[in-house]
Amino acid sequence: MSWADALRKAKEQEPSAEVKPVRVCMVTPSVDPIDRQLTMAESQSVDVHLPEYQKGLLILDANAIIKGMDNFVSRADAFVTTKQVISEVRDRAARDLLERLPHAVTVLDPTQPSISAVITCAEKTGDLGVLSRTDIRVCALALDCCTKAGVLNPPIDPKSAVVNATSNSKVVTEEKDEDEYNAEGRSDGDSEGESAEAEDDEGEWITPENIHQVKEAVGLSGDPFSGGMACATSDFAMQNTLLHLGVPIIGTSGMRIRELRLWLLRCTACFKIVMDTTRQFCPDCGGGNTLRRVNYVVNSNGEKQLFINFEKRISKRGTVYNLPKPRGGKNGTHRTLVLREDQLAQVLRHRSGTAMKEKETRLTEEEELAAFGEPEKKTKRNLGQPKTVSSYHKYNVNEMRKARAGRRK
């Protein structure tokens, strides 16, 4: 018997040791779909428990606290908001306002069904691209509160465009008629005479009799808050989404929208119509800073009618400078330069690997430390999220900058 056969026979006679299962961590580089429904509503939050109130209850947004809400504080005795809104209030005046409130602010978390309803409605209205994660949570909390209190108005479903395979769907743009252009192109003498008459008409005093006309002219009209339940915000995108959901709203200083609107994106380079307002790049030409929000309506024939301001000049700021000089290294231009959507794959490829494994290990350690009451470590940016914005800067990236002098001792 050779020494190899003897060694094999000895191994067969040894008791087999138990093999430990290998722990495999799957790392997903991006978890966008609205951050996986806002991290599944903070791990499936429970039902919303409203505080007791007699006059009224307000769901507060950050801009309602920052801009001041003294005009309707006396008509509400309960205030509700999210923890993300409290973290956004940082300036001294807004903090003093929170401390001066006669009633404490209750911090609640929205439920998962309400977050899904807000995201679905914002996708239909085209407001999802301009709503932040905090705005979505505040809208969902307002929907929860109004649903539980039974003060929810009938929702308004946005009218969708009819697209048939046999007939082409026309997109009509709003342009000026010839009469309007002729009215603008009149002689200088007529314009000077009208300007003189306009100067005579100007200079009216604002009195209690005509103050409502002035407010309507500047867009500050709206019913005052007289009690009940409403969401206090001056964000027009949030107000548009909440009114479609049937949630009562009030605006700080009377800033309230007067009509519901639908939005889409239009590429100023290839004139492509994009319904997904969360996109940063045109799906047709791949342009980075060419998508603009455009208001539209759906007529009785199911056609989209766009309202485009052709007189508004497209800003070329950031596109008149040369691209940054090529450089290598950890933060080189080949890792950060994103001018077209297909370059995201290259940027995402550099985000995977060692950095993602270190991030996964760090998150596991933070979860273990959180069990002992230690705070989690804050990171500046999520390595798993690729750069989804264009790299066109609003300044000259190649200009010489003054180096910061060292501290003198």
For residue range 224-281, list pLDDT tens digits in order. 555 678 898 988 999 999 999 999 988 877 678 888 899 999 998 899 999 999 888 8
Looking at the predicted structure, is the pLDDT value of residue 148 above 80? Answer: yes
Q: Give 96-100 contacts, CB < 8 A, sequence gap 24+.
A: 97/65, 97/68, 97/69, 98/65
> Which of 1-5, 312-316, 374-378 has the highest mean predicted lDDT (pLDDT)?
312-316
* Pair 119, 243 in one domain: yes
* Pair 39, 152 in one domain: yes
Q: Average the pLDDT over each of 70-84, 214-228, 307-321, 394-408 and give the range with the smallest value.
A: 214-228
Domain-located, residue 10: no
Average pLDDT, integer, range 281-307 = 85
Domain-located, residue 275: no
* Pair 130, 254 in one domain: yes
> Bigger pLDDT: 218 or 269?
269
C-alpha pair distances (Å), 115 with each of 44, 100, 260, 308, 313:
11, 31, 21, 32, 37
> How far apart, in whole angstroms, are the C-alpha atoms of residue 370 and residue 380?
19
Domain-located, residue 99: yes
231 annotated ligand-binding residue: no
* Pair 358, 241 in one domain: no
Looking at the predicted structure, is the pLDDT value of residue 383 above 50? Answer: no
Looking at the predicted structure, is the pLDDT value of residue 150 above 80? Answer: yes
pLDDT at 140: 93
Domain-located, residue 120: yes
| Band (211; pLDDT cuts 50, 70, 90) | low
Looking at the predicted structure, is the pLDDT value of residue 409 above 70? Answer: no
Looking at the predicted structure, is the pLDDT value of residue 202 above 60? Answer: no
Looking at the predicted structure, is the pLDDT value of residue 9 above 60? Answer: yes
Reported as a single tens digit per residue, the pLDDT across 364-378 is 555 544 544 444 555
* Pair 234, 108 in one domain: yes
| Band (209; pLDDT cuts 50, 70, 90) | low
> Bigger pLDDT: 155 or 15?
155
Domain-located, residue 297: no
pLDDT at 66: 85
The type of residue at 357 is K
Reported as a single tens digit per residue, the pLDDT across 275-285 is 999 888 888 88
Looking at the predicted structure, is the pLDDT value of residue 83 above 60? Answer: yes
> Bigger pLDDT: 201 or 61?
61
C-alpha pair distances (Å), 172 with each of 305, 346, 398:
5, 39, 43
CB 79 within 8 A of CB 89: no
pLDDT at 138: 94
121 annotated ligand-binding residue: no
Looking at the predicted structure, is the pLDDT value of residue 179 above 60? Answer: no
Q: Strand 304-307 relative to strand 291-298: parallel, antiparallel, unpaired?
A: antiparallel
* Pair 252, 353 in one domain: no
285 annotated ligand-binding residue: yes
pLDDT at 394: 62
Looking at the predicted structure, is the pLDDT value of residue 141 above 90? Answer: yes
- Which residues are CB-contacts of 298 (< 8 A; sequence separation ≥ 6)? 159, 160, 161, 262, 304, 305
* Pair 107, 233 in one domain: yes
311-321 burial, b for 16+ CB within 10 Å, e for fewer? eeeeeeebeee
Domain-located, residue 183: no
Q: How many domains does the chain have?
A: 2
> Which of 165-179, 298-312, 318-332 has the highest mean predicted lDDT (pLDDT)?
298-312
Which of 259, 283, 305 terminates a domain? The answer is 259
pLDDT at 92: 86
Reported as a single tens digit per residue, the pLDDT across 98-139 is 888 878 888 999 998 999 999 999 999 999 989 999 999 999
pLDDT at 90: 84
> Bigger pLDDT: 381 or 162?
162
> How far apart, in whole angstroms, are the C-alpha atoms of residue 238 and residue 135?
7
Residue 84: half-sphere exposure toward Cβ, Cα within 13 Å = 14
Average pLDDT, integer, range 284-298 = 86
> Bigger pLDDT: 70 or 273?
273
> Bigger pLDDT: 145 or 53?
145
> Which of 126-140, 145-159, 224-238, 303-317 has the highest mean predicted lDDT (pLDDT)?
126-140
* Residues spanned by the domain of 351: 318-397
* Pair 357, 243 in one domain: no
Percentage of the chain lying above the pLDDT 70 cut: 55
Which of 259, 274, 305 terminates a domain? The answer is 259
| Band (311; pLDDT cuts 50, 70, 90) | confident
Spatial CA neighbour of 382 closest among 332, 341, 348, 343 = 348
Domain-located, residue 406: no
pLDDT at 322: 78
pLDDT at 242: 93
Domain-located, residue 268: no
* Pair 389, 249 in one domain: no
139 annotated ligand-binding residue: no
Q: Average the pLDDT over each of 136-140, 192-196, 304-308, 372-376 and give the range with the smallest value.
A: 192-196
Which of 211, 238, 259 terminates a domain? The answer is 259
CATH number at 82 reads 3.40.50.1010
